């Protein structure tokens, strides 16, 4: 190409495009604008660093493969080449790789951990435990030299001075902070008599709060045997530790306030309960006094003889009726007895004379027929006695047989199907009986076979 010939616009743009696309660059900047519309083949965004702005595009497949959702204000690191869009005469940066940078990387890591712990159920509301209303011992995990420890202790002393505080002073930032916080939570959770644990630290940058976004700290809080309250950073700051804690407070001071009641509240509550108890006791006493007064004024206690008045009156009436009835009845019976004696005395001689002859005749006939009747009766009695002996159950028993009764001793067992193993029966012999327990039952067919 001759240096004296002027280039066309297309040639100039093509030359610039080839020159720029030969350089691969890695650029760090803040996203100031982003356009991600459904149906677009690429995502368009702008990065800046204050004085300069660079337009960028990334093809959708590369954008989705990066796993970085673009948001205005986030720091990103882009790798690609500068290129020129000839139809518009614009230069733009074509991104091949996209990654979050600085705090953006940390936030992505925290978001991924949050999704993991949430899927395990560590952030579910039903897992959160209620705080004890009046804790006797409170565990505190924080830096021993920070402002947070003084805020918490001052609040606890002001609101609820009767509580004992066990302080586990640890570093809350730095390389070993997470491990120290885990050890402190486990130590206080297993300490004798600790009712609740506070995990606190003052404000700081997002990077300063990263120990409380550590998975080990989150699992230590979730596994603590007593409720855990967090007061980390300021109001907008929310860490993984806050999400898994039983209660998240906005600041260390708020955490202390949420753990204990105010002395004034306790005093007012006790006074209210005292008034309620006093009224209840007064009503109970008044009710008991009223019932005692009613009992004391009852007729049974004021005039005990009134209970016997009616029975005594009925007894007197019955005695009077008996006193009147007995003499009259005795007199009537005496008169009847005298009349009967007189009639018997007048009839006795005639009955004796008349019946004397009959008695002689009957006596002679009895002397004649008596022996015959007696002999015939003796034979009949002997035959009946022999028949009775044959039919007598006692006679049968005397020949070696026995009778089986049910457990009640009255019902005769007539069939093997009426009894079962384990039941109690009574066996009657001719000279006594015996109580037995059935061990087995065999029918006749089984015995014959």
**Is residue 157 scored above 60 in pLDDT?**
yes
Mean pLDDT of 277-300: 86
- 160 vs 155: CA distance, rounded Å: 8
Same domain membership, residue 227 and residue 138: yes
Within a domain: residue 109?
Answer: no
- The answer to whether position 278 is within a domain reads no
Question: What is the share, in percent, of the chain residues with pLDDT greater than 70?
Answer: 92
Q: Report, as an integer, the average pLDDT of 226-255.
A: 88
SS (H, E, C) the chain: CCCCCCCCHHHHHHHHHHHHHCCEEEEEEEEEEEECCCCCCEEEEEEECCCCEEEEEEEHHHHHHHCCCCCCCCEEEEEEEEEEECCCCEEEEEEEEEEECCHHHHHHHHHHHHHHHHHCCCCCHHHCCCCCCCCCEEEEEECCCCHHHHHHHHHHHHHCCCCEEEEEECCCCCCCHHHHHHHHHHHHHCCCCCCEEEEEECCCCCCCCHHHHCHHHHHHHHCCCCCEEEEECCCCCCCHHHHHCCEEECCHHHHHHHHCCCHHHHHHHHHHHHHHHHHHHHHHHHHHHHHHHHHHCCHHHHCCCHHHHHHHHHHHHHHHHHHHHHHHHHHHHHHHHHHHHHHHHHHHHHHHHHHHHHHHHHHHHHHHHHHHHHHHHHHHHHHHHHHHHHHCHHHHHHCCCCEEECCCCCCECCCHHHCCCCCEEEEEECCEEEEEECCCCCCHHHHHC
At residue 301, does pLDDT exceed 80? Answer: no
Report the pLDDT value the prediction gives residue 319, as an integer from 0 to 100. 82
At 173 the pLDDT is 86
Instruction: Let me know if residue 420 belongs to a domain.
Output: yes
- How deeply is 78 buried, as exposed, middle or buried, from its count of CB atoms within 10 A (0-12, 13-18, 19+)? buried
Same domain (yes/no): 231, 176:
yes
Identity of the highest mean pLDDT range in 33-42, 334-343, 363-372, 434-443:
33-42
Q: What's the pLDDT at 444?
A: 66
| Burial class of 423 by CB neighbour count within 10 A (0 to 12, 13 to 18, 19+) | middle
Task: Give 203-233 pLDDT, tens digit per residue.
Answer: 777 778 888 888 999 999 999 999 999 999 8
Rounded CA-CA distance 403/413 in Å is 8
Query: Mean pLDDT for the chain?
Result: 84
Q: Is the pLDDT at 360 greater than 80, yes or no?
A: no
* 76/70 Cα distance (integer angstroms): 9
Structurally, how many domains does the chain consist of? 3
pTM of the model: 0.45
Query: In this structure, what CATH number is given to the domain that contains residue 182?
Result: 3.40.50.261
Q: How confident is the model at residue 386 (pLDDT cuts 50, 70, 90)?
A: confident
Residues 93 and 138 in one domain: no
pLDDT band at 167 (very low <50, low <70, confident <90, very high): very high
Better-scored residue on pLDDT, 170 or 307: 170
In a domain, 143, yes or no: yes
The pLDDT value recorded for residue 55 is: 92
pLDDT value for 426: 86
Q: How confident is the model at residue 34 (pLDDT cuts 50, 70, 90)?
A: very high
Residue 104: band (very low, low, confident or very high) from pLDDT cuts 50, 70, 90? low
415 vs 225, higher pLDDT: 225
Task: Say what the pLDDT of residue 381 is.
Answer: 81
Residues 188 and 75 in one domain: no
pLDDT (mean) for 19-24: 79
Residue 169, pLDDT score: 92
pLDDT in tens, 127-149: 899 999 999 999 999 999 888 99
Domain boundary among 101, 133, 161: 101
Question: Do 141 and 248 lie in a common domain?
Answer: yes
- The answer to whether residue 72 scores a pLDDT higher than 90 is no
Please identify, among 68, 101, 134, the residue that sits at the C-terminal boundary of a domain: 101
User: By C-alpha distance, which of 225, 224, 207, 227 is closest to 216?
Assistant: 224
**Residue given tokens 């009259």 in the structure block:** 328
What is the distance between the alpha carbons of residues 61 and 241, in angstroms, rounded to a whole number? 35
Average pLDDT over residues 146-161: 91
Q: Which of 159-173, 345-359, 420-434 shows the lowest per-residue confidence on average (mean pLDDT)?
A: 345-359
Residues 415 and 442 in one domain: yes
Residue 73 domain-assigned (yes or no): yes
For residue 409, tell me if it sits in a domain.
yes
Looking at 261, 279, 305, the residue that finishes a domain is 261
Domain residue limits at 81: 9-101
Predicted pLDDT of residue 227: 95
Together in a domain, 246 and 144: yes
pLDDT at 54: 92
- 1 — pLDDT class (breaks 50, 70, 90): low
Q: With a cut of 60, say whether residue 9 has pLDDT above it.
A: yes
**pLDDT tier, 47 (very low <50, low <70, confident <90, very high otherwise):** very high
């Amino acid at each position: 190409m001759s240096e004296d010939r002027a280039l066309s616009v297309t040639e100039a743009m093509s030359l610039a495009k080839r020159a720029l696309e030969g350089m691969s660059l890695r650029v760090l900047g803040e996203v100031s604008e982003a356009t991600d519309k459904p149906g677009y083949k690429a995502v368009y965004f702008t990065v800046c660093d204050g004085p300069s702005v660079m337009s960028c595009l990334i093809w959708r497949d590369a954008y989705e493969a990066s796993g970085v959702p673009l948001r205005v204000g986030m720091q990103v690191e882009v790798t690609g080449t500068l290129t020129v869009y000839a139809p518009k005469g614009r230069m733009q940066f074509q991104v091949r790789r996209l990654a979050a940078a600085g705090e953006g990387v940390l936030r992505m890591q925290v978001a991924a951990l949050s999704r993991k712990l949430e899927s395990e159920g560590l952030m579910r509301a039903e897992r959160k435990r209620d705080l004890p209303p009046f804790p006797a011992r409170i565990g505190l995990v924080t830096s021993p030299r920070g402002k947070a420890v003084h805020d918490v202790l001052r609040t606890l002393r002001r609101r609820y001075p009767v509580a004992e505080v066990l302080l586990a002073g640890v570093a809350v930032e730095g390389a070993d902070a997470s491990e120290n916080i885990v050890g402190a939570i486990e130590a206080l959770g297993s300490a004798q008599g600790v009712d609740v644990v506070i995990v606190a630290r003052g404000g700081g940058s997002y990077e300063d709060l990263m120990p409380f976004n550590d998975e080990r700290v989150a699992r230590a809080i979730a596994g603590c045997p007593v409720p855990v309250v967090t007061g980390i950073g300021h109001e907008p700051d929310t860490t993984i530790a806050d999400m898994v804690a039983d209660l998240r407070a906005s600041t260390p001071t708020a955490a202390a306030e949420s753990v204990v009641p105010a002395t004034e509240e306790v005093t007012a509550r006790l006074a209210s309960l005292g008034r309620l108890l006093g009224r209840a006791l007064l009503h109970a006493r008044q009710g008991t006094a009223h019932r005692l007064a009613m009992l004391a004024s009852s007729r049974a206690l004021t005039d005990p003889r009134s209970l016997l008045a009616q029975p005594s009156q009925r007894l007197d009436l019955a005695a009077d009726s008996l006193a009147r009835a007995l003499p009259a009845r005795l007199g009537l019976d005496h008169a009847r007895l005298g009349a009967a004696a007189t009639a018997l005395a007048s009839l006795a001689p005639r009955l004796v004379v008349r019946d004397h002859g009959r008695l002689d005749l009957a006596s002679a006939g009895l002397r004649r027929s008596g022996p015959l009747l007696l002999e015939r009766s003796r034979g009949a009695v002997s035959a009946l006695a022999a028949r009775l002996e044959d039919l007598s159950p006692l006679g049968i028993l005397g020949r070696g047989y026995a009778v089986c009764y049910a457990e009640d001793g009255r019902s005769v067992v007539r069939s093997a199907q009426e009894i079962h193993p384990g039941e109690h029966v009574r066996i009657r012999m001719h000279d006594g009986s015996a109580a037995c327990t059935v061990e087995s039952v065999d029918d006749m067919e089984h015995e014959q076979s």
